[in-house]
Chains A and B, each alone.
Chain A
Amino acid sequence: MTEVAKIETTLKDWETDQEVRWCPGCGDYAILKAVQRTLPQLGADPKNTVFISGIGCSSRFPYYMETYGFHTIHGRAPAFATGVKLANPDLDVWLVTGDGDGLSIGGNHMMHVLRRNVNMQIMLFNNEIYGLTKGQYSPTSREHTRTPTSPLGSVDHPANPCAFALGSGARFIGRGFDVSKNLPDVLKAAHAHQGAAFIEIFQNCIVYNKDVFDDFAAPKGAEDRQLWLEHGQPMLFGNAKKGDIKGLKLVPETFSFEVVDVVDGDWEAAGVCVHDAKNRMLAHMLIELEFGPYPMPLGVIYDDPKPTYESAVIAERAKAVEGKDNNLARLLAKGQTWTVSGTAQDPV
């Protein structure tokens, strides 16, 4: 892959002339703006940028980006994106999917794009509902969610997207939510990561699953419920203005976390853990933290690159073709041949 020169653009350069058709108030608007705000900061080049999506509300995203865009079929965007990256690894691919598209019908492809580690950013908009088909429960809907297909409340256990991604072999796990001012930072970190970068973005579906994330995303009291992770920094949360700071301390005996109070900012004395984004075990623990007793971990949970799939394919190809003849006529005549001249045969 060649190093691509950084380009000067503004947010406007990334907007299309197409009318945005999400419901008024949909969290998708905020995510679209966050992406359009982030790309100029990355120095990204619209002509080398490709947005690829599946089917669902989130998957309309490419139509609103002044880049190359491919709105594909339900659940299969990771497979299309893999083909695009193998054909042209220099393209900067962003995959847009949702909880139904990416984890239900397309769960298999999601697993494989992550384990192969194809270099792209994967934004999974998680609204815990099927929006475009009018409100059926999704694989991330919480138990007892009442929808047209679960009038008595859903009985399925929900999937945890980040745990799925990590279990599939993802080397980057980020998490944010639609209206968060920190979302661009997560996107930038994902973009900087070479390999498949999985970003779960909690997204408010104001029509079918309104405010379902308010328990941690609502502005009031957010400090107490959001743990924004930063590599090399202590895992602290709480209201700094009120001097009410807490942190996560590891309890080795039970291999779990304990929420501890930090007095006078001395987090070391309180035994608060420092976040290490390269620690896979830590990532597992953070992803599995139960919200309620613990805050919601957000930001870059895990970021430990390894060689990408396409680089391995390119390297393998280079090795395979070394010293090989690529003359088609000779290929066709390969193996044991014989010549017919007139009626006599001469084995070659």
Chain B
Amino acid sequence: MTKAFCFMATQTADPIIHNASPDAVVVRFAGDSGDGMQLTGGQFTLSTALAGNDLATFPDFPAEIRAPQGTLFGVSAFQINFGSREISTAGDAPDVLVAMNPAALKVNLASLKPGGLIIADSGEFTKRNLEKAKYESNPLEDGSLAQWDLLAFDISALTIEAVKDFGLGNKDALRSKNMWTLGLALWMFDRDRQPLIDWLNAKFRTKPDIAAANVAALNAGHAYGETAELSGPLKQVHIGPVESAPGLYRTITGAEAVSLGLVAGAQLAGLPMFFGGYPITPASSILHHLARLKEFGVTTFQAEDEIAAICASIGASYAGQLGVTSSSGPGIALKGEAMGLAVMTEMPLVIVNSQRGGPSTGLPTKTEQSDLYQAVYGRNGDAPIPVVAASSPGDVFECAIEACRIAVEYMTPVMLLTDGYIANAAEPWKVPDVDSFEPFTAKFLTENNNPDGKVLPYKRDAKGARPWIKPGTPGLMHRIGGIEKKEGTGNIDYSPENHQAMTDARKAKIDGITVPDQGVTLGEEGGKLAVVGWGSTFGPIRRAVDNCRKKGLDVSHIHFRHIWPLPANSGELLRKYDKVLVPEMNTGQFKTVLRDQLLVDAQPYTKTSGQPFKIAELEAAIELALAE
């Protein structure tokens, strides 16, 4: 097939992509799940970060590993928003949509900005693929895309041509299609190819032919851009570096950051880490990362199920390591009973929940914040557990350290909430100075703490924490378990006054956890409206509040990290606003906690589509709240 090339400039265009130096651009790469879109997006992210832009990404992929080719439900997409200004979300609507097949175009077209640019692989717009995507006629040719700019050319054929010297079959040659596309994108945004070439050569170290073919495809895509520019329609766009605090930067995903934070937390506690996990989307990547960090004193254990994963972690904590387990909602549900045992035996433990859409299996690869009730209330008995929630990929690092600190200092299980969006999304991350974190070295009891007799495993310190006693310690043998413990001795005691006292003690210990006072994230301490968030809604809320403030609206953003217990000043702070609006990707769970704990009239603004909030949606909600 010859190169089909058409370009339709439209008068309705949003100028962003026609502007040679906009301050931010949103690009969405979409293709079949086998087209390597996540990898393309990941590598584009890296080159964007290296160019000094701020960025945020949103990988959006199906639950099926290899859905039937060309189908609508098999479409995998990766969205990136990057700019020379602060970027806090992956962007509401793409300026550029790269569609590798008809299904990818169909699924993603609705979100594309009017006047935005479509780059399509016309080679994939075959009769069969059009049928699979339920197109009656070819949208590249029937004028239905008139409101957008369209660049359609046969990327498949161009890729085969580019790699023909490497003796690959058509099927293997087409695997480099994503690199060709990436090459074009790198040209389009004036990115350095060398880091990519280095990466390809390292990745295919043992297969130099494949490496060379991919590099050739990348270079061909890049060259195509240059040639096309010479011939007129395609324009190169320059986005300058963002102003950032001086320091060393890298890109990081939430799954990486939580792994690194846990490693740092264990080091600050002076403990080896035991991580018990069971494969589940989107939490598995934490287990993958930690399995490669054995040199940091990490033991990873892939258990037979979610229950065994937490139980083995509690066993390891009992034996003196820092037990950590991780899962997503359905797996967390299975761990519930064991969490209760960790509460009863007052054992340090970190439980990471990478939330996804629920209930039941729900939306495994989509994001939601609907496990907040589960985290705060979801156990039998009065079983309080501190809950810490991370707001961005970089923030998880600190939150993981905080969870480790609370677990060790208070001898308690701690729930760390993150979500599918944070786990998979990437952002530039200023590498923290490890020495800036205060150590919280774990102390083990080595001498009898009872001058009048046998050791008292439930004798509490000033914080209400019991001593941590490792089996193997001479003279301190004792028994613990899930049956109500007698104050002090830890022996079985069902008596009414003891259960009352122990329930009170467990509650008081968690209520008394020291957490920093809640500050205002953006805006003033008081006013007409506080938009209160937690978790991964941070980016869209921040941007929406910022936009509204620039419009002169009296609105502030308050973002909570500590969900349970809440910071001591929370009620006092929220009462300084006339209204409190709580946007959440659930049906209003944190709103309930705020009302329950603080008696403030928190109003919900909720969304459960499996997609993050759009800035525009939040701006509208803010304007509505202020107008009422």
Q: Which of A72, A329, A334 is B481 in contact with, Cβ under 8 Å?
A: A72
Q: How far is the CA of A331 from the CA of B299 in the complex (A)?
A: 17
Binary interface profile of A, 334-345, with partner B (CB < 8 Å = 1, else 0)? Answer: 111111111111
Q: How far is the CA of A83 from the CA of B301 in the complex (A)?
A: 9
Chain B nearest CB, measured from A2 CB (Å): 11
Q: Are A339 and B247 in contact (CB under 8 A)?
A: yes
Interface size on B, residues (CB 8 A): 75
Q: Tell me whether A46 is interfacial, beta carbon within 8 Å.
A: yes
Q: Are B312 and A79 in contact (CB under 8 A)?
A: yes
Q: Are B321 and A87 in contact (CB under 8 A)?
A: yes
Q: Are A340 and B274 in contact (CB under 8 A)?
A: no
Contacts of B296 in A (CB 8 A): 326, 328, 331
Binary interface profile of B, 20-64, with partner A (CB < 8 Å = 1, else 0)? Answer: 000000000000000000000000001001111000000000000
Q: Point out which of A67, A80, A332, A336 has the most chain B C-beta atoms below 10 A from its C-beta.
A: A332
Q: How far is the CA of A144 from the CA of B443 in the complex (A)?
A: 55
Residues of A293-348 at the interface with B, using a CB-CB cut-off of 8 Å, are 313, 316-317, 320-321, 324-326, 328-329, 331-345, 347-348
Q: How far is the CA of A320 from the CA of B291 in the complex (A)?
A: 10
Q: Tell me whether A267 is interfacial, beta carbon within 8 Å.
A: no
Chain A nearest CB, measured from B438 CB (Å): 15
Q: How large is the interface on A (under 10, 10 to 19, 20 to 34, 35 or more residues)?
A: 35 or more
Contacts of A82 in B (CB 8 A): 301, 308, 312, 315
Contacts of A317 in B (CB 8 A): 294, 299
Cβ-closest chain B residue relative to A342 = B246
Residues of B253-310 at the interface with A, using a CB-CB cut-off of 8 Å, are 260, 263-264, 267, 272, 274, 276, 293-297, 299, 301, 303-305, 307-309
Q: Tell me whether A233 is interfacial, beta carbon within 8 Å.
A: no
Residues of B464-498 at the interface with A, using a CB-CB cut-off of 8 Å, are 470-483, 491-492
Q: Tell me whether A66 is interfacial, beta carbon within 8 Å.
A: yes
Q: Tell me whether A185 is interfacial, beta carbon within 8 Å.
A: no
Q: How far is the CA of A83 from the CA of B545 in the complex (A)?
A: 47
Q: Tell me whether B313 is interfacial, beta carbon within 8 Å.
A: yes
Q: How far is the CA of A70 from the CA of B293 in the complex (A)?
A: 30
Contacts of B434 in A (CB 8 A): 328-329, 332
Q: Are A320 and B295 in contact (CB under 8 A)?
A: yes
Q: Are B246 and A48 in contact (CB under 8 A)?
A: no
Q: Tell me whether A225 is interfacial, beta carbon within 8 Å.
A: no
Using A47-B474, A90-B472, A317-B294 as known contacts, say yes or no to A343 and B301 having CB atoms under 8 A apart: no
Contacts of B294 in A (CB 8 A): 316-317, 320-321, 324
Q: Are B274 and A343 in contact (CB under 8 A)?
A: no
Query: Which applies to chain B's interface (DSSP): helix, strand, loop or mixed?
Result: mixed
Q: Which of A70, A108, A328 is B304 in contact with, Cβ under 8 Å?
A: A108
Using A328-B264, A340-B245 as known contacts, say yes or no to A47 and B314 having CB atoms under 8 A apart: no
Residues of A61-92 at the interface with B, using a CB-CB cut-off of 8 Å, are 62-63, 65-73, 76, 78-84, 86-88, 90-91
Q: Tell me whether B70 is interfacial, beta carbon within 8 Å.
A: no
Q: Are A83 and B312 in contact (CB under 8 A)?
A: yes
Contacts of A88 in B (CB 8 A): 319-320, 470-472
Q: Are A47 and B308 in contact (CB under 8 A)?
A: no
Contacts of A345 in B (CB 8 A): 51-52, 241
Q: Are A47 and B472 in contact (CB under 8 A)?
A: yes
Q: How far is the CA of A88 from the CA of B263 in the complex (A)?
A: 19
Q: Are A328 and B263 in contact (CB under 8 A)?
A: yes
Q: How far is the CA of A191 from the CA of B485 in the complex (A)?
A: 31
Q: How far is the CA of A49 from the CA of B492 in the complex (A)?
A: 20
Q: Are A83 and B267 in contact (CB under 8 A)?
A: no
Chain A nearest CB, measured from B409 CB (Å): 20
Q: Tell me whether A50 is interfacial, beta carbon within 8 Å.
A: yes
Q: Are B341 and A328 in contact (CB under 8 A)?
A: no
Contacts of A344 in B (CB 8 A): 241
Q: Tell me whether A278 is interfacial, beta carbon within 8 Å.
A: no
Residues of B within 8 A of A (CB): 46, 49-52, 192, 195, 241, 243-251, 260, 263-264, 267, 272, 274, 276, 293-297, 299, 301, 303-305, 307-309, 311-321, 323, 337-338, 340-341, 345, 431-434, 454, 470-483, 491-492
The 6 closest A-B pairs by CB, nearest first: A83-B315, A71-B481, A83-B312, A79-B311, A345-B52, A87-B319
Q: With A76-B338, A88-B320 given, can you name 16 additional A-B contacts, CB distance below 8 Å?
A: A47-B472, A47-B477, A63-B481, A70-B480, A72-B311, A72-B482, A79-B312, A82-B308, A83-B319, A84-B315, A326-B295, A333-B431, A338-B50, A340-B244, A340-B247, A347-B195
Between A and B, 7 residue pairs with Cβ closer than 8 Å are A70-B315, A72-B314, A73-B340, A80-B318, A88-B472, A109-B308, A331-B263
Residues of A within 8 A of B (CB): 16-18, 46-48, 50, 52, 55, 62-63, 65-73, 76, 78-84, 86-88, 90-91, 108-109, 111-112, 313, 316-317, 320-321, 324-326, 328-329, 331-345, 347-348
